[in-house]
Structure 1
Amino acid sequence: MKSPTLRRWSVIHTWSSLVCTLFLLLLALTGLPLIFHHELEHLLGDAAVLREMPAGTAHLDLQQLVSKAEQHRPGEVVQYFGFDKDEPDGVLAITAASAGTEPNASHTFMLDARTGEAVAMPAANGGFMMLMLRLHVDLFAGLPGKLLLAFMGLLFIVAIISGTVLYAPFMRRLGFASVRRDKSRRLRWLDLHNLIGVVTLTWALTVGVTGVISALSDLVIAAWRNDSLAAMVAPYQDAPVLSERAPATRLLAIASEAAPGMRADFIAFPGTRFSSEHHYAVFMNGATHLTSHLFTPVLIDARTLEVTAVGDRPWYMDAMGLSQPLHFGDYGGRPMQILWAVLDILTIVVLGSGVYLWLDKRKRAREAKA
């Protein structure tokens, strides 16, 4: 007989698991291709491919690239420029009808930094990989979808903790990694469910916690805007509306002088949610695997090109920056991707076996009543 405490933990484990299982199955299934998104984009022909040119071909300056981007999307303005160390001759451009347009209504493409030629990026605007990403991130429901998935992630964490509590006395009776092959199918599945759950415990907690943090990214960014960014742009609170802004030509050089030893990851143009109405914001990061996901904003007056602030990183922005690549296994190259995929598949087995065990238990209960 279970003690009252274990019965309570059993109820918590059962219902926290059942409520979140369908969502977690969806997340595990959509997360699997996202682990290999770079490889799949190339395989599906959805990745931007720049044409070959002689090595060392000079790049256009940033303002010329801004003009090329807006010529490619007439009637739209540039919201962001992004830089990828793996594609030094390309600049990721994001444009929209206005600077403040929400992200899902923007358009993403690659600019060849040498010619200004626009190269389509189907994976960033539609297709299979975007379908997987939107289902995984917000269920095509925006912030409400993200908050729902964050709640499911919290239930998943509760299910992991409660399952560990329940498995501890079970281990004392049976021994770790034991599977009772001579017993009924239900008991074999119970043993496998417990065993795989324990083996994937640390990974599942890591993915669960980082998933919750990532799902709350909109709230984290809003907190940063209301706290750190608001403090940095406070002197401009009563400034007149920006009627003309300086060319973006020297932004990278100015930011590099303000944050030596760092490289530019992306530029937020005036009016976007990562800048202000009066600033270019150049987000700098480090060169190591760890620091490449930690961002330091350099705010540059959009009229005078003077550096007005070099922002500190709040802990919650660091947590968000580190959690997102860890969630998808982006830190350790191909071996980590394969490990993440194997653990993802094992988690699908745990979720599926949990549903089977619950349904079988209900079936036995109905038969006993009959």
Structure 2
Amino acid sequence: MRSGTVRAWSRVHTWSSLISTVFLLMLCVTGLPLVFAHEIDEVLLHQDWSPTHADGRRLDLDQVLDAALARHPGDVPTFMSFDTDRPVVNVTSRAPDAPAGAYNFQPIDQTSGEAAPLVAGHPVMEFILQLHTDLFLGLGGMLFLGLMGLMLLVAVVSGVVLYAPFMRRLPFGTIRAERSARTRWLDWHNLLGIVTVAWVVVVGATGVVNTLAVPIIAHWKDTALADLAAAYDGPVALDERASLDAAVDRAREALPGMTLQFVAFPGSDYSTDNHYAVFFHGDTPVTTHLITPALIDARTGELAAVAPMPWYVKALSLSQPLHFGDYGGLGLKIVWAVLDLITIVILGSGLYLWIVRRRRAR
């Protein structure tokens, strides 16, 4: 490679790294506890609770919905989800005049209709997640962090290009311990960078995809569901809606063998103004994250369509757990945490090398 080409790639690597380093360090530091978010929440929020009638008949979903809305009169239901380890149905609703993002979340004991203990993230973990996701700036913050993720990918690619001529001079893994501190850190920076390059690309790319979640879902709704929405004159009123329990049963018939995940009510982000969107997932580590909705006409309770997610929504669904190593249990999470710590060292050493070089230049 010509010296001019090396210098050009070096500038690309230096500035793409510098522009994003502070934010990438923040993402790595906040991402470390988020890898173990489930385990941390279980320790900090453990509650001894049992259903009112553990062996009794469970209420149907219409009764559960009525019990939840009775606690928030005037609310409009938006989502219903289901706990996997206890007979609890979570009903999310909002007041018609509530500001965007303002919801009421009510866990209901399905054996009695009474309120169940809320199992949500610890406030500290919720703070860390919000900082990691959007810097408390909403969609703008998400897109900005996505840009920083792209800068990371540019830095990785340029670093790999620069590593090729470097490797011609030294055996792989060489650490020149007898040289200056700057040289030793340069060797460690290069070695750790090339060893973790595949992981950094995977986490960086999935992070970029995750920052596009809002426009991805909006595009899916505006395209894949547009034809269904066009067949109606207006939104279906609450008192005109068919039985929710019957709608879910009809969706189960359309997607046998799959596991019910959540229901999106008419007018919510994941449905149209006239359909219950009943979402199911598979039962393997991968298909658990791939959801398929059955759309049920909210007026008649009849199946309107089974709408498999397009490739870009599937990519989003798979990237979210992959970003945090949430596929292979605790062992994979530990690997993710170790690689995260190594990435912090790479970012810190890169910043140190730049500062030292600037001082020498002066």
TM-score of the aligned structures, taking structure 1 as reference length: 0.92
Distance 1:192 1:84 in 2: 46
Query: Is residue 52–residue 109 contact of structure 2 (8 Å, CA) maintained in 1?
Result: no
Pair 1:211 & 2:207 matched: yes
Residue 134 of structure 2 is matched in structure 1 by: 138
Task: Give runs of aligned pairs for residues 1-370 of structure 1, distance below 5 A.
Answer: 3-45=3-45, 50-51=49-50, 55-85=54-84, 87-98=85-96, 102=100, 104-121=101-118, 123-124=120-121, 127-236=123-232, 238-239=233-234, 241-242=236-237, 244-366=240-362
The aligned amino acid for 2:289 is H
Deviation string 1:299-325 (CA, Å, 9 cap, x unpaired) is 111121111111132110110011101
Query: Is residue 30–residue 133 contact of structure 1 (8 Å, CA) maintained in 2?
Result: yes
Distance 1:272 1:101 in 2: 14
Q: 1:32 to 1:145 in 2, by over 3 A?
A: same
Distance 1:309 1:101 in 2: 31
Distance 2:214 2:282 in 1: 24
The aligned amino acid for 1:142 is G
Query: Is residue 79–residue 264 contact of structure 2 (8 Å, CA) maintained in 1?
Result: yes
Partner SS state of residue 353, structure 2: helix
Q: CA deviation at 1:105?
A: 2.2
Q: 1:84 to 1:331 in 2, by over 3 A?
A: farther
Distance 2:97 2:167 in 1: 58
Distance 1:54 1:317 in 2: 39
Query: Is residue 139–residue 214 contact of structure 2 (8 Å, CA) maintained in 1?
Result: yes
Q: CA deviation at 1:289?
A: 1.4
Deviation string 1:160-207 (CA, Å, 9 cap, x unpaired) is 111111111111211211111111111111111111111111111000
Q: CA deviation at 1:101?
A: 6.1
Distance 2:52 2:3 in 1: 73
Distance 2:329 2:73 in 1: 39
Q: CA deviation at 1:247?
A: 2.7
Deviation string 1:38-88 (CA, Å, 9 cap, x unpaired) is 11112222x676425665433211111112222333443321111243x24
Distance 2:65 2:51 in 1: 22
RMSD of aligned residue pairs (Cα, Å): 2.1
Which consecutive residues of structure 2, in runs of 5 or more, have no partner in the other structure?
none
Deviation string 1:244-287 (CA, Å, 9 cap, x unpaired) is 21231223211110111212111001110111111111011111
Q: CA deviation at 1:118?
A: 2.5
Which consecutive residues of structure 1, in runs of 5 or more, have no partner in the other structure?
none
The aligned amino acid for 1:66 is L
The aligned amino acid for 1:164 is V
Partner SS state of residue 298, structure 1: strand
Q: 1:261 to 1:99 in 2, by over 3 A?
A: farther
Structure 1 range deviating more: 128-137 or 93-102? 93-102
Q: CA deviation at 1:21?
A: 0.8
Q: CA deviation at 1:99?
A: 9.7
The aligned amino acid for 1:93 is V
The aligned amino acid for 2:24 is L
TM-score of the aligned structures, taking structure 2 as reference length: 0.94
Partner SS state of residue 244, structure 2: coil
Query: Is residue 94–residue 106 contact of structure 1 (8 Å, CA) maintained in 2?
Result: yes
Distance 2:28 2:264 in 1: 32
Q: CA deviation at 1:365?
A: 1.0
Paired residues in the alignment total: 361
Query: Is residue 17–residue 155 contact of structure 1 (8 Å, CA) maintained in 2?
Result: yes
Partner SS state of residue 51, structure 1: coil
